[in-house]
Every structure is written in structure tokens, then in C-alpha cells.
Amino acid sequence: MIVKTLKEYFGYDSFRPLQEEIINSIFKGQDNLVIMPTGGGKSICYQLPAIVLPGFTLVISPLIALMKDQVDGLVANGISAAYINSSQEGKEHQEIYQKLIAKELKLLYVAPESLSFLVTVISQVEISLIAIDEAHCISAWGHDFRPAYTQLGYLRNKFTKTPIIALTATADKATRQDICDQLNIPHAIQHLASFDRPNLRLEVRPGNKRIEQILNFLIDKPNDSGIIYCLSRKTTEQLAEKLQSQGYKAEAYHAGIEHQKRTQVQDQFINDTLQIVCATIAFGMGIDKSNVRWVIHYNLPKNIEGYYQEIGRAGRDSLPSYTLLFHSYADVIQLQKFANMSGNKEVQLAKLDRMKQYADSLSCRRKILLSYFGELIQEDCGNCDVCTDPPSIIDGTIIAQKVLSCVARVNEEEPIGIIIDILRGAQNAVILDKGYQSLKTYGIARDIPWRDWQQYIIQLINQGYIEIAFHLNNKLKLTELSKKVLFNSEKVKLANLAEFDKVKELAIEELKTPKKDTLFERLRELRLNLAREAGIPAYQIFNDATLREIEQLKPTTDEEFIQINGVGKLKMQNYGTKFIKEVIRFSEQKTNKPKRAHKNKGNSYKKTFELYKNGLSIEEIAIERQLATSTIYTHIQKLYEEGEDIDLHTLISKDDLIAVRKAKNTLNSPDALRPYFDHFDQAMEYNTIRIALTIINDEVNQE
Ligand code: ADP
Ligand code: MG
């Protein structure tokens, strides 16, 4: 059964959407095209079949760093894999060929450039599957075209019987068709996964006092890895310096930095020894780090595809992750300039428009994102800033009238900054030179701060009440709609900025939970030490989701530990004892137990049993014995299994028992606890589930 293989080698209890379907299709010998968002879980779709199929699986992958990472991850799970690329010596290549011929390899990763050297060797061995990762690189329609990919069409002609699977996160139709055409797989089954990433919190804020906002944002994330994307190289450097001066481990990354330093930054980030990377969009393509907890866009991205891919680098492990986008008028002007200079100006400008609409949206942001990728959702997402803190609307008619009449009085000859200066009665050289201090609108709105004026005017632009003439030095121009406001007293609605800011600050306050001495932090430290010893990235030992589950479940025995999602066979062997020890150590310290190891486990159980027989509840026993309740549950369970007279029904409510019984039927009796835990939306304790299952299983056995 393939679920068993999934658990044994990857440690996961169940498949993500589409994975099982895709794998079964491979087993049927079909060609497949997989479209899944970044972090959706594409790799397992070919890695799992590779383990099961008799021959080896050839994986084409564009990036050397990525290959090494994937191979390290596979080896850590007990799967024999290797990669071939130009960074190795001939001797290394020979060794790998030998292994391949001796049938010792299940997966071989190669860059398309190196493929031609390999063909003779490959032809001598049984090849079961060909996987082409980041397949959009084959298409000039995609955003990351690589010429070497275009030779891959011959694979189908050479290996006529071998199924091919192509995988990408690029959704658009033209690219999809092009991939199938070029790879000669016209009958490939297309699997299109949802692009929704509900664990990503979406937030957009006005781009003023950005550094201050970032420092605030970071307060409750002292250890969480994150990326800050900036438009210019210079900003990445300035920002990194600023963060360093505040005590953060931060580095800049852009294409102008020398290769060695870049590799170093990337390695440190992957290994959890560097917390923050301030980068241009050059960063991120080559990494599969699963525990990036947040992504900030310091500047507005130029299109939604790029934005979605970049925020998609957060939270691959499915744990809650933050994304924050700063939206500023200056960025829009800058991007507009770039777009105007580019070859396909119209397309670029239209894409930028969609990006702006997203940033300015007053309705659920996820709806806008997903509709961009052709997916419609009915419900608001509840995990974006608009859903959680909807802006209140004010009557903005007077504000609009002031702005518009000011624009009219300067004959539509001035950009936004000067209009605001006039409204606020500024006394700078430009104003005085042009004699604007004598305008009727001069100084009519000193009470509204500069940046609020800017936000209001942007809102007016987005609603069509004013236009920016980008080709005429960004002068503000009146529109048909402006006339309705000025002469027909049309009402204008604006988002209330004052309240907007207040809510945002509140949200930040709520997030500020100081770092505690939690089991999670301890487990993380242990993981880092083990990773350093083994010379692999920390998340390749266990990802954050697995650590969270260990924290929840507090496994104290091998049987409990192997049930954790993310713990496979080899990792159990390599790390199980160490993590179990840490859990026990932590529980004991938390209950202030004097440091005294149980000489004899049996003795400890006995004490628990005595208290139980005296009628104490689990909680009471835990207090009496100064142990964690989960430990007492384990004792009771063990005692029961050893045949002691324990009535498990006293430890669980009737309702809970009925609920688990029902769940067992719906879920088709899974082996692990996790599916139940998820089934109850994580609201029922693992201990309760375990007790219920013991009762139910015993009933079955007695029948
Ligand atoms: P993609 O290539 O689609 O961007 P990956 O294959 O790198 O995504 O997977 C992203 C993360 O999800 C990895 O940490 C991976 O181990 C995890 N993952 C994949 N499948 C599952 C699953 N069935 N259950 C839990 N985690 C999974
Ligand atoms: Mg991938």
C-alpha cells in the first residue's frame, strides 16, 4: 500500500490533494503534467514512485543548489539518490555511474546541460520514470526560460515506454500546452491543484515608516526565518545594515554580490544560522526551505505572478506564516517607468494594474489573488487584513472636492506632491516661486497629515476621480467623474485612515508575545545541534510542523514517536531517542520535579496505579506525582495493556467516545492518531483520542 511507503520513507500519514492520484497514474504507465503551487508537495509525486518502481528514476532539475538539497533530504530519509552536475570531478561521476549500473540508485538528479554525457550509461540500465521538475523552464511563455530545457523533447523518442512526469508551479494555459508539445507528451494527464495557500496570512500596509513597521513586526519573531524583497540592490544593503544594527542576523543578497558570498548567505539561511535575507527577486528560486515563517515586500512587486511565487516561499510546511506587502505611491511611479521602457509595454502595464488593484483592495485579498489564477472562491478567506480588520468607510466628498478643485486651479499642471503642499499651506521654494500661496485652495486642509493626503488621493485615483498622466511627469488630471463631484455633488466614499492605523497597531500589539522557554524552542535547539553534527539543513531533520506535533503530543515512547507526522523509519532510528529524551526532560523540569531518574520504570507505574486505585483522576495524579498529565496517561495506558484492572471508560466522556467511534468509520480506520486530531479540528486531545481507540479496538478484539 502506498500510504505505508509514504509513512515509512517520508514520515507522513496521508497524502496532500492530488498526490495519490498522480502517483497511481504513474503506476499505470501514463504521462502526467502536474501544476501545483510552490510548497504544494510536487516532489513526492515522483519520489515515492521512484522507491517502488523496479528501475531508477531520472530527475531533470535546473538548479544545482536545489538538487543537492533534495538529494540530501532523500538520503536523510533512507532513499538512495545522487546528482550529477558540472561542479563535480570526473571521478565522482564514475562512482555514480557504477552505482547506477549496480542498481544501487533509486533516483538520479541531473541538470539538462549534463544530460547528453549520460545517455550511454542510462541506456544500459532499467529506467522506470523520468521526472522533469520546474518544467515551465522549457517554455518561452513561462517566466524563467532556459534554453537547455528545449532539448528534452528527445527523451520521449529515446525511452518510448518510460512514463514522463512534468511538474511546475506556473499555471497559465499557454505555458501548459507548450510544455506538453515540447516534451512530446500530448496525452499527458493534467493535474491542476488549487492555488490556495490558506496558511499564508495576507496583509498590505501603507509604505510609510517601513523600517519602524518592520522592527515592530519582528518583535514577536525573534527566531523565525524570513525574507524581505526589495526593488533595488541598494535598499537590500541598507536594510540589512539597519537590521544588523538592531541586533538581527540579517544579510543582503542580490546578483551584484560575488558568488561565494551569495552561496554563503544562502547556506546560512537554509541552515537556520541566518535569520533574515534582504534580497532582490534573485533570491529564493534555488531553495526549498520549508520553515520560512514570513515574507515581506518592501516594495510593490511588478505583477501578481511574481508576488505569489515570492510569498509562496513562506510556510511550505503548512504552518501559519505571515506575508506583508508595503504599498507606496513612489513604487508605482517607478514600476510604471520600468514597464514603459520594456518591450511588451501594454502587457506589463496591465499586469502592474492588477497588482495595484490587489494592494488597494477593500474586499477579501485572497479572492482577488485566486481569481487571477482562474479560481473562484465563494467565501471570504478570513485570513487577510481586509477580512479581519475591514476598513470603515467615511463620507469623503469634501476631501475629494478640496483635492479636485486644487487640481483644477493649477490647470492640471502639477503632480501629487505639490497638490498636497498647496492643500497643507507649505512654504517651500516651488510653491512661492509659482505664486501658489495666493490660490483659494492654499492651506485649506492643514489638519490632515501629509501621508494621509497621499493615501486619500491614491484612493481617489483608484476610484477614477483623478488620473495620473505618467507620460507628463505624473501630473494629476481631472476625469469625467471629477466633474460629477465638483459640479453635481456626487458623494465619494473613502476608507477611514485614522481607524485603519489604529486597528493595525492593535493587531501588532496582540502579536507581541515574548519568546518563552517552550518545548518547541528546546526541540528546535536540539534539531539545530543535530543538523550541525550531520552537516545538513535543520529542516531536513524534521520540519517545524513535525516539531509542533511533538510539542503537542509529547511522545515518551518509541511507539508514540513513530506516530508523529513527519517521522519515518530511518529518522525514528536516528533521532527518536534524542527527541524523546528532550520531551521527558522538559516535562520533568516544568513540573519542578527534583532531579531524580526513575531507577525502575515499573516502580513509577506502580505509584500511578496505586493513586488511580485510590480514586484520583489523571489530573490529580499528575499533581500529586509532579508529572505531566500526558505521562500519566501513558502510564495508565501501559498498565491497561499489561492487563491491570483499569476501567478506561472513567477517563473519557461518553460524547467523546461516540465522536471517535464515528470518526473511525468516516476515516476508514487509519493507523495513526493524526487524522483523528485533524478531523476534530485539533480540538480533541491526543490522549483522549488514544484512550477512545484503545477501548474501541478492544471491543473489536473481543467480538
Ligand atoms: P513543491 O516542490 O511543490 O514546491 P515540495 O515538494 O518541496 O513542494 O514540498 C513542500 C513541503 O511539503 C515539504 O516540506 C514536504 O516535505 C511537505 N510535504 C509534501 N507532501 C506532504 C504530505 N503528504 N504531508 C505532509 N507534508 C508534505
Ligand atoms: Mg519543487
**Bridge partners for 415 per DSSP:** 475
| Top mutation candidate among 23, 47, 316, 540 for ligand 1, by most atoms within 8 Å of CB | 316
User: Is pLDDT of 499 > 60?
Assistant: no
* Protein residue with its CA nearest to atom 19 in ligand 1: 41
> How high is the pLDDT of residue 64?
75
Ligand 2 centroid, distance to 132 Cα (angstroms): 10
Mean pLDDT within 251-280: 92
Ligand 1 centroid, distance to 288 Cα (angstroms): 9
Measured between alpha carbons, how far is 314 from 297 in angstroms, rounded to an integer? Answer: 12
Measured between alpha carbons, how far is 100 from 103 in angstroms, rounded to an integer? Answer: 5
Report the nearest atom of ligand 1 relative to the CA of 43. 6
| Top mutation candidate among 43, 168, 225, 677 for ligand 1, by most atoms within 8 Å of CB | 43
User: Is pLDDT of 628 > 80?
Assistant: no
Ligand 1 centroid, distance to 42 Cα (angstroms): 7
Strands (E), 169-257: 189-192, 200-206, 225-229, 250-253
Q: Which ligand is nearest to the CA of 41?
A: 1
- Residue pLDDT, tens place only, 402-446: 999 999 999 999 999 999 999 999 999 999 999 999 999 999 988
Q: Which ligand is nearest to the CA of 63?
A: 2
Contacts of 461 (CB under 8 A, 6+ apart): 467, 468
> How high is the pLDDT of residue 252?
96
Ligand 2 centroid, distance to 17 Cα (angstroms): 16
* Protein residue with its CA nearest to atom 10 in ligand 1: 39
Comparing 643 with 267, which gets the higher pLDDT? 267
Report the nearest atom of ligand 1 relative to the CA of 318. 12
Report the nearest atom of ligand 1 relative to the CA of 42. 3
| Averaged confidence pLDDT in the chain | 87
Q: Which of 86, 49, 92, 45 is nearest to 65 (CA)?
A: 86
Q: How confident is the model at residue 516 (pLDDT cuts 50, 70, 90)?
A: low
Q: How confident is the model at residue 292 (pLDDT cuts 50, 70, 90)?
A: very high
Residue with the three cell numbers 503642499: 421
Ligand 1 centroid, distance to 285 Cα (angstroms): 16
Strands (E), 88-185: 107-110, 127-132, 164-168
CB 366 within 8 A of CB 383: yes
Q: Around Cβ 393, how many Cβ atoms within 10 Å?
A: 11
Residue with the three cell numbers 564514475: 94
> How high is the pLDDT of residue 398?
93
User: Is pLDDT of 504 > 70?
Assistant: no
Q: Which of 590, 561, 585, 581 is nearest to 573 (CA)?
A: 561
Comparing 549 with 702, which gets the higher pLDDT? 549
Report the nearest atom of ligand 1 relative to the CA of 543. 14
* Protein residue with its CA nearest to atom 20 in ligand 1: 41
| Top mutation candidate among 46, 288, 291 for ligand 1, by most atoms within 8 Å of CB | 288
> How high is the pLDDT of residue 506?
44
- Residue pLDDT, tens place only, 319-342: 999 999 999 888 988 998 888 888
Report the nearest atom of ligand 1 relative to the CA of 40. 3
> How high is the pLDDT of residue 274?
95
Percent of the chain with pLDDT over 70: 94
* Protein residue with its CA nearest to atom 12 in ligand 1: 41
Report the nearest atom of ligand 1 relative to the CA of 10. 16
Q: Around Cβ 597, how many Cβ atoms within 10 Å?
A: 7
Ligand 1 centroid, distance to 10 Cα (angstroms): 10
Mean pLDDT within 9-27: 95
Measured between alpha carbons, how far is 687 from 619 in angstroms, rounded to an integer? Answer: 12
CB 541 within 8 A of CB 561: no
Q: Which ligand is nearest to the CA of 73?
A: 1
Ligand 1 centroid, distance to 222 Cα (angstroms): 25
Amino acid, single-letter form, for residue 369? L
Ligand 2 centroid, distance to 58 Cα (angstroms): 15
> How high is the pLDDT of residue 575?
95
CB 452 within 8 A of CB 497: yes
- Residue pLDDT, tens place only, 578-603: 999 999 999 888 765 444 444 455 67
Q: Which ligand is nearest to the CA of 45?
A: 1
> How high is the pLDDT of residue 595?
41
> How high is the pLDDT of residue 600?
52
Which stretch, 61-75, 181-195, 526-540, has highest mean pLDDT?
181-195
Ligand 1 centroid, distance to 238 Cα (angstroms): 34
CB 537 within 8 A of CB 531: yes
Q: Which ligand is nearest to the CA of 316?
A: 1
Measured between alpha carbons, how far is 161 from 322 in angstroms, rounded to an integer? Answer: 45
Ligand 2 centroid, distance to 18 Cα (angstroms): 15
Contacts of 332 (CB under 8 A, 6+ apart): 300, 352, 356
Q: 3-state secondary structure string, 1-46?
A: CHHHHHHHHHCCCCCCCCHHHHHHHHHCCCCEEEECCCCCCCHHHH
**How many helices and strands, by DSSP H and E, does the chain display?**
32, 17
User: Is pLDDT of 184 > 70?
Assistant: yes
- Residue pLDDT, tens place only, 190-220: 999 988 999 999 999 988 889 999 999 998 8
Report the nearest atom of ligand 1 relative to the CA of 539. 14
Ligand 1 centroid, distance to 545 Cα (angstroms): 11
Ligand 1 centroid, distance to 39 Cα (angstroms): 6
90 sits in which H/E element: helix 90-101
Measured between alpha carbons, how far is 114 from 116 in angstroms, rounded to an integer? Answer: 6
Ligand 2 centroid, distance to 292 Cα (angstroms): 15
> How high is the pLDDT of residue 511?
43
Q: Which ligand is nearest to the CA of 61?
A: 2
Contacts of 479 (CB under 8 A, 6+ apart): 464, 465, 466, 467
Q: Which of 520, 518, 532, 568 is nearest to 672 (CA)?
A: 568
User: Is pLDDT of 307 > 60?
Assistant: yes
Beta strand pairing status for 276-279 and 250-253?
parallel
Measured between alpha carbons, how far is 45 from 29 in angstroms, rounded to an integer? Answer: 14
Q: Which ligand is nearest to the CA of 11?
A: 1
Comparing 69 with 574, which gets the higher pLDDT? 574
* Protein residue with its CA nearest to atom 18 in ligand 1: 41
Measured between alpha carbons, how far is 490 from 15 in angstroms, rounded to an integer? Answer: 55
* Protein residue with its CA nearest to atom 9 in ligand 1: 41
* Protein residue with its CA nearest to atom 2 in ligand 1: 42
Q: Which three cell numbers stand for residue 487?
A: 459640479
| Top mutation candidate among 10, 19, 542 for ligand 1, by most atoms within 8 Å of CB | 10
264 sits in which H/E element: helix 259-270
Amino acid, single-letter form, for residue 201? R
Report the nearest atom of ligand 1 relative to the CA of 45. 6
> How high is the pLDDT of residue 698?
81
Q: How confident is the model at residue 651 (pLDDT cuts 50, 70, 90)?
A: confident
**Bridge partners for 476 per DSSP:** 468
Q: Around Cβ 429, how many Cβ atoms within 10 Å?
A: 7
Measured between alpha carbons, how far is 698 from 692 in angstroms, rounded to an integer? Answer: 10
| Top mutation candidate among 44, 165, 196, 199 for ligand 1, by most atoms within 8 Å of CB | 44
User: Is pLDDT of 681 > 80?
Assistant: no
User: Is pLDDT of 170 > 80?
Assistant: no
CB 23 within 8 A of CB 45: yes
Running DSSP on this structure, what letter comes out for residue 382? Answer: S
Report the nearest atom of ligand 1 relative to the CA of 565. 25
Q: Which ligand is nearest to the CA of 288?
A: 1
Ligand 2 centroid, distance to 70 Cα (angstroms): 9
Q: How confident is the model at residue 97 (pLDDT cuts 50, 70, 90)?
A: very high
Q: How confident is the model at residue 41 (pLDDT cuts 50, 70, 90)?
A: very high
Q: Which residues line ligand 1 (CB under 6 A)?
A: 12, 15-16, 19, 36, 38-44, 288, 290, 316-317, 543
